Structure 1
């Protein structure tokens, strides 16, 4: 099979022909249709993501994928040959990633692809959707009528978090720049232009100085600090997917509110709790089938041969949605 190999950090990939992996008794072999690109991939490639525990040299990166199962291990009972699936399956901790034509995958990490989206759209979902679900459902347990503030609602995790919260009946606000207002309105969120409102101003205007029930920080740094002052007293809950560095908890403590972090990669690195990822994606497929969730996907088409262009598009911030790499031959009708 063809695969993109990383020999050294911060160096170009090398396309190589390597043996197709063989699925063991507890794995499935997936013919990969598309691989989703995440900011994490760029950090790993540049050697700036030690927490991902990538094994070098000769690493195959890429965490997200969609594809079709072509063989099934003897101990696998919940999938069969021909199933269209998607998942966050590798690229970290020494596991083969998705920038290759095939991957042997732990089926606990997979779910059946929703029938009303393409393979390209499905490949956009796993990492950002699992992260958003863990934040909104597992940590915050949002309820109908909850007021939710999502920082960065036009981003990958943000736009999915908005849709999950809306599907649960929450009232969702989001901080965005002025050029992103229509995007988040179309997702059902109430936009807050962070270039025009201070934290104090939007808390006053949108919550009558009460604060939000839930605040999701997808940006980190000073945005996380601001989140600690934006939650409701006593019952408010802040969740961050980038809770790194040093932060004063005093503003949060003075409000009597709570905080949770999300580390989506842990099951891949540790091998523990992987079934939960598959269960999350199964629930997400249901939301997609009912029309309650749809990923924003960049309209450009990229292949393994043009991955450098895809990465540049992500780095310059001009992508309109998630960037996806087409892995399969476009003439394969089952993987289009």
Structure 2
């Protein structure tokens, strides 16, 4: 089968076409003909940093985590899938799991689910990593109807899903963005847009919460922005973040009695830990999508498998609006 591989990691790491043996299905897995895959920030980090990240596969490597496609064969013990089923998931591209920049993937059934029936393969491929991340963060933070929820970075990959899920679960949603296009998308998704470049935290907390603060803050920006999340949260509020690799003074969080939830959705893949949760979440997400509660946003760009390098460059450019998707076949 055709794959796109990188032979060594680094800033200038290039993807090259490589023919390899088509993988054979094994127990508990399905062989999937990949129709589309999407690019995530963690994919670009692996390509650049390689062995500096403990989750990177050994080079030469087939990267890519998200995919959508059609089941071609099922392994022993698999009862929930049959040939011809359309599925989606996040099941490769790190550690010892071959990735999705390929014609086929042998995917663990505990990391996939049946594709939402009302999405194209491209749309479905855009969802798994970002949607599981948003779902897990909001649920761990105990989201409830009528809460005031602030999503930092609501036009981004994880953020645009978090906005929609929070709204689906009955919250009143607000979201920060830094440009006209970003703010327009946030509003289109059903949240009240906040321009963090022109409004201070104190200003938007006063305007939207009468100075009380938000019940739940979902921070898809993280890093130094976590301090802003603490400042925007209400007393005894909940903060969920997807980027906590930062040294930070927790004084504000202490005096507000905040609860912090750190989301790292790759744990089940890396450690074979509670993988069934990903299958369950993906199945629930499919139901939400089919009910009209979630629609992925795709960047206008289009790339073939052989153009994987250009797809990665598109995401790294910061010019993409929505998920960057690759057409594998």
Q: TM-score, normalised by structure 2?
A: 0.97
| Equivalent residue number for residue 185 of structure 2 | 183
Native 8 Å contact 1:61 1:99 kept in 2: yes
| Equivalent residue number for residue 163 of structure 2 | 162
Describe the superposition over 1:85-130 as per-residue Cα deviations: whole angstroms up to 9, x where unpaired.
Answer: 0000010112000000001110011111111110000000000000
Q: Aligned in 2, Cα 1:136/1:119: closer, same or farther, shift over 3 Å? A: same
Native 8 Å contact 2:61 2:98 kept in 1: yes
Quick one: distance in 2 between partners of 1:181 and 1:153? 8
SS in 2 for 1:47: helix
Greater displacement, 44-53 / 92-101 = 44-53
Structure 2 unaligned blocks of 5 or more: none
State the Cα distance separating 1:28 from its structure 2 match. Answer: 0.6
SS in 1 for 2:253: helix
Quick one: distance in 1 between partners of 2:74 and 2:308? 30
| Equivalent residue number for residue 232 of structure 2 | 230
Greater displacement, 117-126 / 41-50 = 41-50
Root-mean-square deviation (CA, aligned residues, Å) is 1.1
| Equivalent residue number for residue 35 of structure 1 | 37
State the Cα distance separating 1:320 from its structure 2 match. Answer: 2.2
| Equivalent residue number for residue 70 of structure 2 | 68
Describe the superposition over 1:253-306 as per-residue Cα deviations: whole angstroms up to 9, x where unpaired.
Answer: 111121110011100000111110111111111111111100000122201221
Native 8 Å contact 2:224 2:246 kept in 1: no
Quick one: distance in 1 between partners of 2:68 and 2:286? 13
- 2:214 is aligned, of 194, 207, 212, to 212
Does 2:131 match 1:124? no
SS in 2 for 1:174: strand
Native 8 Å contact 1:153 1:184 kept in 2: yes
Q: Aligned in 2, Cα 1:281/1:301: closer, same or farther, shift over 3 Å? A: same
State the Cα distance separating 1:313 from its structure 2 match. Answer: 1.4
SS in 1 for 2:214: coil
The 5-angstrom pairing of residues 207-286 of structure 1 reads 207-234=209-236, 236-286=237-287
| Equivalent residue number for residue 332 of structure 1 | none
| Equivalent residue number for residue 306 of structure 2 | 305
Describe the superposition over 1:9-48 as per-residue Cα deviations: whole angstroms up to 9, x where unpaired.
Answer: 0221121110000011221100000011111111100116
| Equivalent residue number for residue 55 of structure 1 | 57
Describe the superposition over 1:195-239 as per-residue Cα deviations: whole angstroms up to 9, x where unpaired.
Answer: 1111111111111110000001111222101111111112x0111
| Equivalent residue number for residue 289 of structure 2 | 288
The 5-angstrom pairing of residues 196-211 of structure 1 reads 196-211=198-213
Quick one: distance in 1 between partners of 2:143 and 2:35? 34
Native 8 Å contact 1:151 1:176 kept in 2: yes
| Equivalent residue number for residue 331 of structure 1 | none
Native 8 Å contact 1:52 1:269 kept in 2: no
Quick one: distance in 2 between partners of 1:17 and 1:74? 27
Structure 1 unaligned blocks of 5 or more: 329-336
Native 8 Å contact 1:43 1:49 kept in 2: no
| Equivalent residue number for residue 5 of structure 1 | 5
Which structure features the higher share of strand residues? 2
The 5-angstrom pairing of residues 118-157 of structure 1 reads 118-137=120-139, 139-157=140-158
